[in-house]
């Protein structure tokens, strides 16, 4: 594994290794075991969009690993004044040991990886959010064990979260049902990848418009904001389009008895999810957020440690 640009680039062995490292590094934190697996390494973190979790978990994670996290706000680096990702990748490769980038275009992340000589980690694009979904699946595994025997239902926008869920579940062989309104479906190329992966893994992938059918007997119910970063002008139209896709008590009644609720956060209570669900006992959103730290530390160790 050279980069983490998309879960679709990963083998099932690599996904399992991320989970094994995550479990180990999480245990080290809980037991206070000192280690500095990335001593002397620097991670550059480029953000052209806002972040709470991604920034803090990568920054803290790198510190805990003995390395140095260098925050590079897009406003302050020359990319914002038109410097190419080609030159940026070449130059940063001379100084630092890895790049984490959150930005709009997946192709910009791919360019950094193509032209640089250091590992690149995708910290969210309009298309994908692979670190999030690896942390989410790790969280489900902690609570429910064997992922292959479970069904996850995603209700809402066919956005970066839904796209990376398609990659993750189809690679692992976990049943995934996605319900979106018409016109807000997942990316066609990602759907294609997932259907191909499913042939090998045995995953049952369902892409529908009916939230009740999606949630039927699901072990995990997942939703995300109806208005992602960069879509602020579409807010009113989106709220109307998604009004029947709220995760609430009525929808929950169709899920499996001990189902769990996930949301990548930030959440908007009263829109995509009601308070009784997101703040109820079925909600594991803060474990999910915590696991970003452990899983991303695992990813950094796998990509950046010498003699992995
Ligand atoms: N879930 C997530 O990526 O959160 P941030 O936007 O706060 O980083
Ligand atoms: N779909 C959301 C995820 C935020 C972590 C967005 O892109 O804004």
Every domain of the chain and the residues it spans: 7-129+292-304, 132-288
pLDDT at residue 308, as a whole number: 46
pLDDT at residue 34, as a whole number: 86
Residue 30 CB coordination number (10 Å): 9
Question: Which residue's CA is minimally distant from atom 6 of ligand 2?
Answer: 228
Q: For residue 157, which atom of ligand 2 is closest to its CA?
A: 1
How far is CA 5 from each of CA 14, 101, 119, 120, 242, rounded to the nearest angstrom?
13, 10, 10, 7, 29
Across the beta sheet with 175-179, what order do the strands follow?
A: 205-208, 175-179, 151-155, 220-223, 260-263
CB distance 183 to 157 below 8 Å: no
- Measure the CA–CA gap between 149 and 168, rounded to whole angstroms: 14
3-state SS assignment for residue 130 = helix
Which pLDDT tens digit goes with each residue over 40-55? 999 999 999 999 999 9
Residues 6+ apart with CB under 8 A from 120: 3, 4, 5, 98, 99, 100, 101, 109, 112, 113
Q: CB of 164 closer than 6 A to ligand 2?
A: no
CATH code given to domain 132-288: 3.40.50.1370
Q: CB of 228 closer than 6 A to ligand 2?
A: yes
Q: 253 burial class (0-12, 13-18, 19+ CB within 10 angstroms)?
A: exposed
Main-chain phi, psi angles of 246, to 5 degrees: -80, 140
Q: For residue 264, which atom of ligand 1 is closest to its CA?
A: 1
pLDDT at residue 307, as a whole number: 56
State yes or no: is 132 an active-site residue: yes
Does 7-129+292-304 carry CATH code 3.10.150.10? no
State yes or no: is 264 an active-site residue: yes
Q: Percent of the chain, pLDDT > 90?
A: 97
Indicate which residue of 136, 292, 294, 296 is catalytic.
Answer: 292
Q: Is the fold of 7-129+292-304 the same as that of 132-288? A: yes
- Measure the CA–CA gap between 284 and 299, rounded to whole angstroms: 22
Residue of 204, 193, 186 whose CA lies nearest to 8: 193
Indicate which residue of 53, 55, 102, 294 is catalytic.
Answer: 102
Residue of 101, 89, 116, 208 whose CA lies nearest to 153: 208
pLDDT at residue 272, as a whole number: 98
What are the residue ranges in the chain where pLDDT is below 70? 307-308
CB distance 167 to 193 below 8 Å: yes
State yes or no: is 102 an active-site residue: yes
Record the pTM.
0.98
- Strands of 123-161, DSSP E: 151-155
3-state SS assignment for residue 256 = coil
pLDDT at residue 174, as a whole number: 98
Give residue 164 CA to ligand 1 midpoint distance, Å: 14
Q: CB of 48 closer than 6 A to ligand 2?
A: no
3-state SS assignment for residue 43 = strand
Q: Which residues line ligand 1 (CB under 6 A)?
A: 51-54, 124, 132, 264-265
Q: Which two tokens stand for residue 182?
A: 């018409």
Average pLDDT, the chain: 97
pLDDT at residue 35, as a whole number: 87
Residue of 128, 152, 121 whose CA lies nearest to 303: 121
């Amino acid at each position: 594994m050279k980069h983490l640009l998309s879960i679709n680039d990963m083998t099932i062995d690599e996904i399992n290794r991320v989970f094994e490292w995550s479990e180990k590094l999480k245990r080290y934190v809980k037991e206070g075991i000192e280690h500095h697996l990335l001593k002397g390494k620097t991670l550059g973190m480029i953000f052209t969009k806002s972040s709470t979790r991604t920034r803090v978990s990568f920054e803290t994670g790198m510190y805990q690993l003995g390395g140095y996290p260098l925050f590079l706000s897009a406003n302050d680096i020359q990319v914002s004044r038109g410097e190419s990702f080609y030159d940026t990748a070449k130059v940063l490769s001379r100084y630092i040991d890895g790049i984490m980038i959150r930005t709009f275009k997946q192709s910009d992340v791919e360019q950094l990886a193509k032209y640089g000589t250091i590992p690149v980690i995708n910290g969210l694009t309009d298309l994908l959010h692979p670190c999030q979904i690896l942390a989410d699946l790790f969280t489900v595994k902690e609570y429910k064990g064997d992922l292959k025997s479970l069904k996850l239902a995603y209700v809402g926008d066919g956005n970066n979260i839904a796209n990376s869920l398609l990659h993750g579940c189809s690679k692992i062989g976990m049943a995934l049902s996605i319900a979106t309104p018409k016109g807000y479906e997942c990316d066609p190329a990602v759907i294609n990848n997932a259907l191909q992966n499913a042939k090998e893994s045995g995953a049952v992938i369902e892409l529908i418009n009916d939230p009740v059918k999606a949630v039927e007997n699901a072990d995990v119910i997942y939703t995300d904001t109806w208005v992602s970063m960069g879509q602020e002008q579409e807010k009113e139209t989106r709220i109307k389009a998604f009004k029947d896709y709220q995760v609430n008590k009525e929808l929950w009644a169709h899920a499996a008895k001990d189902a769990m609720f996930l949301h990548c956060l930030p959440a908007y209570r009263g829109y995509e999810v009601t308070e009784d669900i997101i703040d109820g006992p079925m909600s594991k959103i803060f474990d999910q957020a915590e696991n970003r730290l452990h899983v991303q530390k695992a990813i950094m160790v796998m990509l950046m440690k010498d003699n992995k």
